[in-house]
């Protein structure tokens, strides 16, 4: 089915609910060809989602990237950062499972080097939330 057909089906389904909350996580990780194509697809996704109706409430999560920020000029934004401890826990959980764990399980120095470098590069993983419209979730 085409995007237009899928949008029509989604509209029909959403109309049967009093209130719908849509969460788009990691919009900055949305991929699709060249940068310009990717930005156009992100913009189209947001435009379609914003036009779904008054019963739709949208929460978008993304790293702080200017092209995405421009999509939400008129919307409420909240900038937040992940705590370093949370980042460390996440990284350690990833290092302890999967195929990489077999290579580094005996190498505490390598595990620590990976942890330190990734945590530093993450730099709190700044995230922007845009809520449309702003209403508390009961």
* 3-state percent breakdown (helix, strand, coil) of the chain, nearest 5: 50, 15, 30
Which pLDDT does position 9 carry in this prediction?
92
The tokens for 16 are 């049967």
Residue with tokens 């399980």: 105
Closest CA to 69 of 34, 27, 32, 31: 27
**Domain ranges within the chain, ordered by starting residue:** 3-132
The tokens for 121 are 């590069």
Which pLDDT does position 46 carry in this prediction?
86
| Segments of the chain with pLDDT less than 50 | 134
Q: What are the φ and ψ backbone dihedral angles of 36, each rounded to 5 degrees? A: -65, -40
Which pLDDT does position 95 carry in this prediction?
83
Tens-place pLDDT, residues 1-25:
888 898 899 989 998 999 998 888 8
């Amino acid at each position: 089915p085409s995007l237009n057909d899928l949008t029509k089906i989604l509209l029909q389904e959403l109309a049967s609910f009093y209130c719908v909350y849509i969460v788009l996580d990691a919009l900055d990780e949305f991929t699709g060809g060249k940068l310009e194509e990717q930005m156009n697809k992100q913009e189209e996704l947001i435009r379609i989602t914003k036009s779904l109706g008054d019963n739709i409430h949208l929460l978008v999560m993304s790293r702080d990237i200017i092209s995405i920020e421009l999509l939400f000029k008129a919307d409420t934004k909240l900038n937040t950062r992940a705590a370093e401890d949370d980042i460390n826990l996440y990284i350690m959980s990833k290092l302890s499972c999967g195929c990489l764990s077999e290579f580094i399980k005996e190498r505490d120095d390598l595990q620590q080097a990976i942890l330190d470098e990734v945590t530093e590069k993450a730099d709190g993983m700044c995230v922007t939330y845009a809520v449309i419209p702003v209403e508390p979730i009961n």
